[in-house]
Amino acid sequence: MAPGPLRILCLSGPNLQLLGRREPEIYGSDTLEVIHERLRRAGAAAGAEVECRQSNHEGELVGWIGEAMGTRDGLLLNPGAYTHTSYALYDALRAVGVPCIEVHLSNPEAREPFRRRSRVAAACVGKVAGFGSGSYDLALAGLVELLTRGSRAA
């Protein structure tokens, strides 16, 4: 196990910068900044450095996943609508082999039919969905648990 804190990267995809104002009846009232701050604090308390980023661009998300190879111990990923379309994100997750938890505020499988399929799920070790912004917190707790009882990236 590498010394020092666990290194976790949390990525959020398109339209999630609008959280707090975007369809609050579905996604709740917390902004992404509030969620990110909570993750950094909870991570620090659990011995993890959590860095959080958001992008509306698939290629940028793919690039950030690629950077995680050998530099991060785990990933949290809410791909937004790219969940349902992106083979590029699936391939990126497979390529880096860094354990990733898929995160959704809503429960996509209980919504419109096009949301019922996740293209990234098969490249993730787990998924947390349907707990509003709390899905991110639960996913972080699960990832830390997984990483501390498993082995760390070099």
Residues that bind ligand DQA (CB under 6 A): 15, 78, 80-81, 83, 104-106, 108, 115
Within 10 angstroms of residue 113's Cβ, the number of other Cβ atoms is 7
Residue 36 is among the residues annotated as catalytic for this protein: no
Q: ∠18-34-45 over CA atoms, to 5°?
A: 145
Minimum CB separation from ligand DQA for residue 64, in Å? 17
- Report the residue number, 129 or 153, with the smaller CB distance to ligand DQA: 129
87 carries an active-site annotation: no
Give yes or no for a contact between 47 and 5, defined as CB atoms under 8 angstroms apart.
yes
Q: Which is catalytic among the residues 36, 82, 104, 136?
A: 104
Considering only CA atoms, which of 135, 145, 67 is closest in space to residue 102? Answer: 135
**Shortest distance (Å) from residue 135 CB to ligand DQA:** 7
The residues carrying an active-site annotation are: 27, 104
